[in-house]
Amino acid sequence: MIIKKINYQRVLLACLFILAGALGRILLRDFLPGLPHWSMTIYGITQPVFILDMFFVVGIFSLLSGLVIGGYYSFIVPIGIMVLTDIYYGNTFIFLFTWSGFALMGLLGYFARSKISVNIKSIFPVMGIGIGGILIYDFWTNFGCWLGWYPHTLDGLLSCYVLALPFTFWHLLSMSLILPISWILIVLTKKHTFNVRQYVVAPLEKYITFATFAFLGITSFVLLL
């Protein structure tokens, strides 16, 4: 009975999102323009001042997973992308915050899903959700950086967030350029391949989804205390 209720179109779309996100994060990196690598040392920590990262690839698919598919896939898609690409790139303890941060972007899209119509006019609210998701992600992941690498003082906290401003600027810029294009592609293909409204999320799936997000956030915080 449970198997009959599986919406295989949702599963296929989620797999496509994960595959496209993972390949995009790995393969597109070489196409970003090279910049001088500036770094600075503060509190004995050497970190880059600014680099062009592939945040926008995972961020877009995280947001769209919540907006278009919803439910479990709001966190399955972003975490699936990060698991595959972190196997390739490697990571540090910060994966606790990056994984849960992208999952939060998926949840934000899921919250907005019922209010977003899949049409061109929705570009502006989708952009607003994207900007909100970036700010939440950067606030959360930089909080993790402060917990793990910086002195647990007000000065350490401020230094962490100030040094992260160039990265936030890049995240906002890259998402602002790519997200509208991605949304237009979703609008153009919806009539031929999928309909966002047909993906009904059952109450149990909603509860499990919210519980999973809460678990990810609490675990990330507790493990660094």
What six digits make up the tokens of 225?
Answer: 């205390």
Pairwise CA distance, residues 43 & 34, whole Å: 28
Closest CA to 213 of 12, 92, 84, 65: 65
Pick the CATH number of 3-223 from 1.10.1760, 1.10.3720, 1.25.40, 1.10.3210: 1.10.1760
Tell me the pLDDT band of 31, cut-offs 50, 70 and 90: confident
Mean pLDDT for the stretch of residues 125-140: 94
Average pLDDT value for the chain = 83
Grouping H, G, I as helix, E, B as strand and the rest as coil, residue 43 is: coil
Q: What percent of the chain has pLDDT over 90?
A: 41
Does the pLDDT at position 205 exceed 80?
no
Mean pLDDT for the stretch of residues 192-212: 68
Indicate the range of 34-43, 81-90, 126-135, 158-167 predicted with least confidence.
Answer: 34-43
Mean pLDDT for the stretch of residues 81-87: 94
**For position 33, what pLDDT does the model report?**
67
Residues 6+ apart with CB under 8 A from 134: 59, 105, 168, 171, 172, 175
**For position 102, what pLDDT does the model report?**
94
**For position 1, what pLDDT does the model report?**
36
**For position 2, what pLDDT does the model report?**
39
**For position 148, what pLDDT does the model report?**
85
Does the pLDDT at position 65 exceed 90?
yes
Does the pLDDT at position 132 exceed 50?
yes
**For position 157, what pLDDT does the model report?**
92
